């Protein structure tokens, strides 16, 4: 009774039609397995250029299946549009041809799934069409389709009910199809360069590999707290220690932090590690990955993102962080200075800082405030201060900085990479400095991972590591303004 009260008139009518399928036609409203031999896009590709006369002279029979998304006509003749995973095609049903089979399409509602056997033809208007010879009812839609397939404009509905978004918005369906192609292209690139795809733990006993707040859970059998991983880095490096010289993982990461157009609590990254490489080799790798991914969507490597033209065909710029700060602000951090001198520069330029910050933290904040948003074309920014790079190797010529880079495009970070720190003594000191920061109020600082330090003590070869945000890359390549537009089921507050 409660369910019946919740039904509107359209839903009641659809249930009545469902009952009529059983009572009048002895048809199961929710169908069975069906063999088709053609997709809409393939038919358009093969026959759109054929004339009406050519198709009549060489008749072709096909079997298609899909959701009915439009319906025109009544009485003895009905035209309908049927959509499958590749696109849409028109069908033409005549009562004189179908006889007792005709009521299936006559009674069908928008959203119903139909199986159709018919002949390829052209209408007088020149539209490729399937002349229906036999119909099979495959599934009844008990709710009306959104906005008659004109799209869903309400953003909340699009994110909460992605299935309706995919039904109603062709742009969304295409974007997610392209996402899969992009990820496949990345895998093909990595596999083609002798990287081995692996899987590492999502539940971990210690969160590490990034400065981020973890989600915490409890394992009842072991009676211990565990953490959803905030990065795959430390486990992948263990594999390099073990002799897997080139490894990568594409997987979910979880961070218990804020949400905005660029951040979702769970997201996807690519991380890779290559023995005997340094961060300059990884720059070359990164360019290769971006071009391989872009080609499946933009074969000419020209991308327009939110009105900005991006050229991925040219070599990416490579600039030191301190040089960029000097270009934008005139402030020169190359000479060595005390924390007090750096704080004075920060005060003069209205840059806020925390009490535990060292010179490197302030340099990084200058970059964030004055440079990051200005980098439109692909730019590798290297030379991050050691204070903000606890897992990167120090630069041999100037140990204040590390051999690390981040890739920026249209003012956003897309990749983070460095020559990995493989000195266990230095790594312990960095971890201890991070632990001290945590004690001084930085709740995103890493703790000391004793197991990882032990692994390093067995020896890790010089290694170049890379992390790429897959979601942001898909945003760039599909012109999506929000990360929620490229994550099928983004995190939402319960209604």
Contact yes or no for 409/378 (Cβ under 8 A) = yes
CA distance linking residue 6 with residue 95, whole number of Å: 36
Does residue 444 have a known ligand-binding role? Answer: no
Structure tokens at 41: 């896009």
CB 217 within 8 A of CB 226: yes
Let me know: does 365 contact 394? Beta carbons within 8 Å.
Answer: no
CA dihedral of 230, 321, 471, 465, whole degrees rounded to 10: -60
- Report whether 3 belongs to an annotated binding site: no
Q: CA angle, 37 as apex, 36 and 43 as ends, to 5°?
A: 115
Buried b (16+ CB within 10 A) or exposed e, 1-17: eeeeeeeeeeeeebeeb
Strand-pair partners of 330: none
- State how far Cα 479 lies from the chain centre: 12
Instruction: Specify the residue for token string 């974007």.
Output: 175
> What is the Cα–Cα distance from 241 to 422, expressed in whole angstroms?
10
Q: How many CA atoms lie within 13 A of 95 on its CB side?
A: 8
φ and ψ at 71, to 5 degrees?
-150, 130
First to last CA, the chain: 24
If we measure between CA atoms, which residue out of 76, 143, 138, 87 comes closest to residue 110?
143
Indicate the annotated binding residues: 406, 413
Q: Which residues are annotated as a binding site for Mg(2+)?
A: 406, 413
């Amino acid at each position: 009774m409660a369910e019946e009260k919740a039904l509107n008139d359209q839903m009641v009518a659809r249930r009545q039609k469902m009952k009529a399928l059983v009572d009048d036609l002895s048809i199961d409203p929710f169908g069975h397995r069906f063999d088709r031999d053609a997709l809409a896009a393939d038919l358009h590709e093969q026959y759109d250029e054929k004339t009406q006369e050519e198709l009549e002279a060489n008749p072709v029979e096909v079997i298609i299946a899909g959701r009915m998304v439009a319906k025109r006509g009544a009485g003895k003749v009905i035209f309908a549009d049927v959509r499958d995973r590749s696109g849409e095609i028109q069908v033409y049903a005549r009562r004189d041809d179908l006889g007792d089979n005709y009521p299936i399409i006559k009674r069908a509602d928008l959203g119903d799934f139909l199986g159709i056997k018919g002949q390829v033809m052209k209408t007088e208007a020149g539209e490729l069409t399937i002349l229906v010879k036999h119909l099979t009812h495959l599934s009844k839609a008990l709710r009306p389709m959104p906005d008659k397939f004109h799209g869903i404009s309400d953003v909340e509905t699009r994110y909460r009910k992605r299935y309706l978004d995919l039904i109603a918005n062709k742009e969304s369906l295409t974007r997610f199809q392209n996402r899969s192609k992009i990820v496949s292209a990345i895998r093909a690139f990595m596999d083609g360069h002798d990287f081995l795809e692996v899987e590492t733990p999502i539940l971990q006993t210690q969160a590490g590999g990034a400065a981020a707040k973890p989600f915490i859970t409890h394992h009842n059998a072991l009676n211990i707290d565990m953490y959803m991983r905030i990065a795959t880095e430390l486990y992948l490096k263990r594999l390099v220690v073990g002799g897997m010289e080139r490894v990568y993982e594409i997987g979910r990461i979880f961070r218990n932090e804020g949400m905005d157009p660029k951040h979702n609590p769970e997201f996807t990254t690519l991380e890779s590690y290559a023995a005997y490489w340094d961060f300059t080799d990884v720059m070359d790798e990164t360019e290769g990955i971006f071009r391989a991914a872009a080609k499946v969507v933009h074969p000419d490597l020209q991308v327009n993102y939110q009105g900005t033209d991006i050229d991925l065909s040219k070599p990416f710029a490579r600039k030191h962080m301190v040089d960029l700060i000097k270009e934008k602000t005139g402030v020169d951090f190359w000479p060595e200075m005390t924390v007090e001198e750096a704080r004075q520069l920060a005060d003069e330029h209205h840059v806020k800082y925390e009490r535990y910050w060292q010179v490197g933290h302030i340099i990084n904040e200058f970059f964030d405030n004055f440079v990051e948003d200005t980098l439109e074309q692909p730019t590798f920014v290297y030379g991050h201060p050691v204070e903000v790079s606890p897992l990167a190797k120090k630069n041999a010529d100037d140990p204040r900085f590390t051999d690390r880079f981040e890739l920026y495009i249209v003012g956003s970070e897309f990749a983070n990479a460095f020559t990995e720190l493989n000195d266990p003594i230095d790594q312990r000191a960095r971890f201890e400095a991070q632990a001290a920061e945590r004690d001084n109020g930085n709740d995103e600082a890493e703790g000391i991972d004793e197991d990882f330090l032990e692994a390093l003590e067995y020896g890790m070869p010089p290694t170049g590591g890379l992390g790429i945000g897959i979601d942001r890359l898909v945003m760039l390549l599909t012109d999506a303004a929000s990360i929620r537009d490229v994550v099928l089921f983004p995190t939402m507050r319960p209604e």
